[in-house]
Structure 1
């Protein structure tokens, strides 16, 4: 079932029906075989069995609030707080090797995509042990959507949400990004991508490509390239929500429709004017990127209302 942006009148009615809740915040830790991960648990004052979401951040050195060095926007922090006002608990965490989870950082050559997915799975299991919570919803942002898909099949997840999740394998996305580079760079990079896609490492690597394809990162890229988000989302048996903003300059609207078409249980929602970090913006790249360093900008209320309704109604929007 595919939806466009819900009408503003419906949004206002739904939001008016929700009372603001007192919220408890706690720092929590997850013991893993390779170090300790740390996160923040937000719990509204509600009855036993309240819904809870696990927020899975996107690519790069992203912390529990959605931030990276030089990119401070607090998107996940704001999302967590807004959901609490709907009586929905949430857990967000520093990725392995980031922030207060730094002690769990593996050597770069030992890192695999599956390790990040296992962290998501183990956090879901951790939440399942807490008797305050009922159904667990995984919300994956950007690359975190694919991680959430993999984890949702390994743990007890009631609902799955992709926000700005790519609908194509990472090697294809990388090729699309390289299409804007000079022909010389493309001619050097594309054969490397093709070989990595086949599971083969490449040495030596041209110095111009070291940042992307240095030998120590190649095993991780190989482990990432083998997953097709459309194929992975097709395997999910729980309700699925795919959300995409029309002002996203990192992931295209077509990706959302690719994901939605792959799973009959999926509902696709397009939010007009929302960019990659859930903020109101415009397609102009310069203005759009400016929002990535403005933490005072709120996440769009349309997104919060849609997520809250999907979670509170057991994976339904109608």
Structure 2
């Protein structure tokens, strides 16, 4: 892939597409043929959105079970972890089922303007991180009213982890709410750093780097980028409609707020993640709490896990990418039990379980 489609955020470009060269220069393998998806799971639920209802699916693990909201990743990713861009891994639905078996209720949500929440916003690109966090806080209120829980956990995947951090007060000193966070394959560094790295990693992008880096610097400074001044290959990457959202992310350092949080946080990374690397995990690990008496953050790495939370063979990029279209491939086996244990023990120290 070389061009970011409409309604795809730049974070999706940065995390899911590692080159932006022209199609002729692209060496990405063909998109695997998606397999049929299983029937949806969970009770369909809605809450009011800005222009219409926001939609989700609730999976009940029984009376008294803790409840967690699963926040989807970047771009057009639905509540089940699937995307019209060829991703049919069904990861969030599988995670909800596995967490239910391990005693945790879940609420999976569609982002405003997309899928079941399409009526909530006429233009899905016209969003900011504050918009997404407002929606998440609405879902937190619903979940607590539904279950009687005193608080709600947030499980964010990829960009969803950034939304979880933002929603729970990890930005600009806003008040925190919720039980704690589980960050799955979440970027731990500012978006500008990651995007520059990924652009530079492919030699085919060399002719575009000057313009691309200039656009990134402008967005980091809070400026608007005129795409008419950019090479055509960059125009959709810096889509004007998503620039407000992008400016939010450019000024947000995901790891830094962990130094001052008082709630439990688990960071989960995959050793075979092609999109979020060990550098991001290490950024979270380096920003441990400086508050007296606070536990250290739980950092867990599953060495065989990829970005969509499934085990794949080592050094086999084709198999890794093929897993994105395979809903029958199970989740990484210990993922859900480890997350559930962290949640049910309220984020207390887990000994070796926190040092995988």
Instruction: Tell me if TM exceeds 0.5.
Output: yes
Of the three residues 30, 39, 47, the one matched with 2:47 is 30
For the Cα contact (< 8 Å) 2:49–2:112, is it kept in 1? no
For the Cα contact (< 8 Å) 2:102–2:336, is it kept in 1? no
Q: Which TM-score applies when normalising by structure 1?
A: 0.87
Q: How does 1:61-76 map to 2 (within 5 A)?
A: 61-69=76-84, 70-76=86-92
Show structure 1 runs of 5+ residues with no match.
Answer: 1-23
Is 1:289 aligned with 2:334?
Answer: no
Of the three residues 216, 235, 254, the one matched with 1:193 is 216
Aligned residues: 293
Is 1:305 aligned with 2:328?
Answer: no
Of the three residues 40, 43, 59, the one matched with 2:57 is 40
Of the three residues 276, 279, 297, the one matched with 1:251 is 276
- Once structures 1 and 2 are overlaid, which stretch shifts more, 57-66 or 110-119? 110-119
1:5 matched to which residue of 2? none
Give the superposition deviation at 1:130. 2.2
Distance 2:315 2:338 in 1: 22
For the Cα contact (< 8 Å) 1:152–1:236, is it kept in 2? no
2:104 matched to which residue of 1? 88
SS at match of 2:153: strand
- Once structures 1 and 2 are overlaid, which stretch shifts more, 85-94 or 25-34? 25-34
Give the superposition deviation at 1:314. 1.3
Give the superposition deviation at 1:269. 0.8
Larger strand percent: 1
Q: Which TM-score applies when normalising by structure 2?
A: 0.78
Distance 1:266 1:42 in 2: 28
Give the superposition deviation at 1:272. 1.7
For the Cα contact (< 8 Å) 1:40–1:91, is it kept in 2? yes
1:271 matched to which residue of 2? 302
SS at match of 2:311: coil
Distance 1:241 1:88, change over 3 A: same
Distance 2:336 2:117 in 1: 28
Distance 1:39 1:196 in 2: 32
For the Cα contact (< 8 Å) 1:52–1:134, is it kept in 2? no
Is 1:56 aligned with 2:71?
Answer: yes
Distance 1:146 1:109 in 2: 17
Is 1:231 aligned with 2:253?
Answer: no
Distance 1:104 1:263 in 2: 37
- Once structures 1 and 2 are overlaid, which stretch shifts more, 84-93 or 107-116? 107-116
Show structure 2 runs of 5+ residues with no match.
Answer: 1-40, 170-174, 290-295, 352-356
- Once structures 1 and 2 are overlaid, which stretch shifts more, 154-163 or 83-92? 154-163
SS at match of 1:130: helix
SS at match of 1:249: coil
Is 1:162 aligned with 2:178?
Answer: no
SS at match of 2:246: helix
